[in-house]
Structure 1
Amino acid sequence: MSAGPSLLLIEDDPVLGGSLTQRLRLEGVPHWWARSAAEGEALLRRHRPSLIVCDMQLPDGSGEALLMRLMPELGAIPVLVVTAYGEVAQAVRLLRAGADDYLEKPFTAQHLLEKLRSLPVPPEPPSAPAEAGWRAPTMRRLSEQLDRLARVGSSVLLTGESGAGKEVAAQRLHARGGADRPFIAMNCAAIPAELMESEIFGHERGAFTGATQRHQGFAERAGEGTLFLDEVGELAPNLQGKLLRLLQERRFTRVGGREVLSLRARVVAATNIDLRARMAEGLFREDLYYRLAVVELHLPPLRERAEDVPELAEAFLRHFAAAFGRPELTLSTAALEAVLRHDWPGNVRELRNRIERAAVLGARNELDADDLFPGREAEEIQPLTLAEARDAAEREHIRRALARCGGRIAEAAQLLGVSRTTMWERMRRLGAEG
């Protein structure tokens, strides 16, 4: 797998799920494990994994229904569908709806890793554009507060729903205080607990098995800039204590080291969890909360800032149009009206992902409401032979790769791991030229 991917596994089988997550942990792949459709949806609202692996049979519903409902919100995140033997037609429906590949049970963890390595993992997409989305009165007030905070070094806690733009606010604060300094972001929920201490503080060569050289942690790399602790509410209790000591003493040592280093960076933390409720339950340290929340600012959800929606939509469209080689893309009047009517439960992240998906898959230069909000699920198809099903899946996969590469065949061939000659031959045989 490429460096730094994360994975969401939606699988209710405790034996299979346990073995897969254990292997992912050993491979150092950040991951989340959902055991039901509801838990999977909640995790997708909170995170943007690099890859999604979803079983079709879940205790509270169908994995197919879950993916069909959420596919427009996933943008270009690759999806791997796990099916039981003989469910090829179901897999093909999902491939046509936007999934990238399928895998039949039973399978080994090694087989899954090989499949994951074969999938095109897109680069991390942009957060909300830096200057877009600040028109609403609440956002203008927040911008003024960030400008004032930029003149001092106080710790800041940003709260708000997942996808509301907390990291964008942190970057805005950082830019106002000195954009030439490092901005180091650490996702507290994506790093395995056993690696967290090394990632924060760094380690010396030989500190533990596999530590072949000195490693600078987030606290050291942040220098005199900003250390951004995203999803800080997910920190394990033992790590909360170590973070508290770091904030209190402003000093630390690398794991396995003796040299005392100074924390020079401003600490900005973010969470979508009610930390006061966590404190009442004994799950989050009260003393750490007050160290982090010297100043606490709230990011309102997108549904409460309708003035910002059109500007954000247009800014994301410009970005993805340029990224996918489709500079002529525009939003129709109907699309803009639909964007304004939508409640945006996934906030800015959902808006970004819907725009990204429409920019990849939209057939016309003017994207309509149906491109952003598909009006119906993928149509039922007539039963296919296995060969026909595989051809159909391969045809759709080639077309998506071409769309992702702006129609450039050489780049699409490289993305799919084949030669340009092979790509031409497959396109002609499968009728995927258009």
Structure 2
Amino acid sequence: MLPDRARIGLVEDDLVMGGSIVQRLELEGWRVTWWQSGCEAISEIAGESDSLDLVICDVCLPDVSGEVVFNELAKLPNIPPFMFVTGHGEIDQAVRLMRSGAVDFMTKPFAMDEFLRRIDAGRRTMQSQLRLNGYCLGESAGIQRAEDLLHRYAAHDLPVLITGETGSGKEVAARLLHQISSRGTEPFIAVNCAAIPAELLESEIFGHEKGAFTGAQARHLGYAERAGKGTLFLDEIGDMPLPLQAKLLRLIEDGSFHRVGGETPVVFRARIVTATHRDLAQRGGPTGFREDLYFRLAVLPIHIPPLRERSEDIDWLMDRFLQNAAARSDTCIRGFSALAREAALVHPWPGNVRELRNRVDRAVALATNEWIMPGDLFPEHASKPGGAAFVPLADVRDAAERRQIERALEETGGQIAKAAALLSISRTTLWEKMTRFGLAERVRSET
């Protein structure tokens, strides 16, 4: 029996299917509320959204579509997870709904055992449990939105394209996606397309047969084959040579490939996840990216924001990197000084999370104090003639004000008047500060 609050809302107008779903879910221990029209569901879910662990919604309803139901309820502050039931002709719409925030979709007809498994994976308590188990990327609103997408994408085998600046954590996100998916116990094979010479990349990914070229003295299994039923992660996919892009496209479309020099097709069973710091939408030209491959890879896109846009994660990441570095060292480090934390918060982090990890590793290795100081994290500041390891107080104050304003705007959904009230300042003062910190333009672009 599931916990007492384990409750599902069902929006389904088909009496036979709806009755069958309700009966099976109640046998499994769920408490089910069934609505047979979209308008009825909108009205009643709005008043009890906190008590629902999941809403299962048909896309085609007699009065309004399931998409309308979702969009209306998405305005609520604590919307329950939505899982859609669709016909084959509605898959494009279902994918669009997932990008908008739905956790899953299933096409009719479906096997009940798989349906129950997906319900259990999608319900509200699943994500919080994953975070308790350490499967999380950070605490900022931006990175948690990215995590939400990863959790929704985990139930599907469609290709995922992860974008973000160099060092922002794209491979970490790919590994998280793999861990929380049903493929988590299978291999995770990571390939950096920019680090392998172009003339060797095809053989490394697809393998080769004995005698395929000079020096090929034995059959070689490539990364695509070694991935098995796991995940093939192609990092820096934007640097893949154009001829190899065509072969990758054929692998995706046919579900098989040929080793270099081989004639027998090899079945590809892994999931493809790719990542890039480039804007692959800027296609065309001699160094461009194939448009047809781009659309096949970006079925489920996700963007990892740079560290400078998620300052709430800096402290969180520093503590975890310190813990890992200290475990590998005999140095007795108690933690970061308050000055070091303030210095980290105002640093622009051009190298993103990778730079932060490297600085913490270096500080732990070289620190002579039990507390890490600003000079340990940023020795380049102290090495300048007449320079000091301290951060100007004006920079510290500006960074703190910016963080509080961002939190207030996030809390109020970008409403200036409410954010000003939270901060106990006037709307005019808030707008002036937002303009100075470059937040005014962001609010305009989001609205």
TM-score (norm 1): 0.56
Letter in 1 for 2:248: L
Summarize the alignment of residues 282-297 of structure 1 with structure 2, pairs less than 5 Å apart. Answer: 283-297=288-302
Aligned to 1:156: 160
Judging changes above 3 Å, is the alpha-carbon distance between structure 1 residues 130 and 215 closer, same or farther for their aligned structure 2 residues? farther
User: 1: CA distance between counterparts of 2:266 and 2:336?
Assistant: 52
Aligned to 1:187: 192
Letter in 1 for 2:383: E
8 Å CA contact retained: 1:130, 1:172: no
Aligned to 1:275: 280
**2:226 aligned with 1:244, yes or no?**
no
> Matched residue pairs, number?
252
**2:137 aligned with 1:139, yes or no?**
no
1:378-399 Cα distance to aligned partner (Å, 9 max, x none): 779xxxxxxxxxxxxxxxxxxx
8 Å CA contact retained: 2:283, 2:291: no
**2:203 aligned with 1:198, yes or no?**
yes
Letter in 1 for 2:253: Q
Aligned to 2:335: 330
1:165-208 Cα distance to aligned partner (Å, 9 max, x none): 11111111101113211100000000001101100101122222
**2:376 aligned with 1:371, yes or no?**
yes
Aligned to 1:207: 212
User: 1: CA distance between counterparts of 2:200 and 2:376?
Assistant: 41
Judging changes above 3 Å, is the alpha-carbon distance between structure 1 residues 368 and 319 closer, same or farther for their aligned structure 2 residues? same
Letter in 2 for 1:152: H
The root-mean-square deviation of aligned C-alpha atoms, in Å, is 2.0
**2:317 aligned with 1:309, yes or no?**
no
Summarize the alignment of residues 359-398 of structure 1 with structure 2, pairs less than 5 Å apart. Answer: 359-374=364-379, 375-377=381-383
Question: Secondary structure at the residue paired with 1:210?
Answer: coil
Summarize the alignment of residues 24-423 of structure 1 with structure 2, pairs less than 5 Å apart. Answer: 131=135, 133-177=137-181, 178-279=183-284, 283-374=288-379, 375-377=381-383
Quote the offset at 1:130 in angstroms: 6.3
User: 2: CA distance between counterparts of 1:333 and 1:324?
Assistant: 22
8 Å CA contact retained: 1:155, 1:268: yes
User: 2: CA distance between counterparts of 1:184 and 1:251?
Assistant: 17
Question: Secondary structure at the residue paired with 2:331?
Answer: coil
User: 2: CA distance between counterparts of 1:133 and 1:251?
Assistant: 33
User: 2: CA distance between counterparts of 1:301 and 1:154?
Assistant: 25
Letter in 1 for 2:303: H
User: 1: CA distance between counterparts of 2:326 and 2:256?
Assistant: 45
Letter in 1 for 2:151: D
5+ residue gaps, structure 2, are 1-132, 387-447
User: 1: CA distance between counterparts of 2:175 and 2:254?
Assistant: 25
User: 1: CA distance between counterparts of 2:285 and 2:332?
Assistant: 52
Quote the offset at 1:278 in angstroms: 3.5
8 Å CA contact retained: 1:134, 1:308: yes
Quote the offset at 1:157 in angstroms: 0.4
User: 2: CA distance between counterparts of 1:307 and 1:146?
Assistant: 20
User: 1: CA distance between counterparts of 2:137 and 2:345?
Assistant: 14
1:219-273 Cα distance to aligned partner (Å, 9 max, x none): 0011111100100000111111111111111111111222211111110100001
Judging changes above 3 Å, is the alpha-carbon distance between structure 1 residues 328 and 132 closer, same or farther for their aligned structure 2 residues? farther
Letter in 1 for 2:330: G
Judging changes above 3 Å, is the alpha-carbon distance between structure 1 residues 130 and 203 closer, same or farther for their aligned structure 2 residues? farther
Question: Secondary structure at the residue paired with 1:279?
Answer: coil
Aligned to 1:417: none
Aligned to 1:71: none
User: 1: CA distance between counterparts of 2:175 and 2:294?
Assistant: 21
User: 1: CA distance between counterparts of 2:332 and 2:206?
Assistant: 44
Letter in 1 for 2:382: R
TM-score (norm 2): 0.54
User: 2: CA distance between counterparts of 1:146 and 1:325?
Assistant: 37
Quote the offset at 1:362 in angstroms: 1.6
Letter in 1 for 2:375: D
5+ residue gaps, structure 1, are 1-128, 381-434
Judging changes above 3 Å, is the alpha-carbon distance between structure 1 residues 378 and 321 closer, same or farther for their aligned structure 2 residues? farther
8 Å CA contact retained: 2:137, 2:173: no
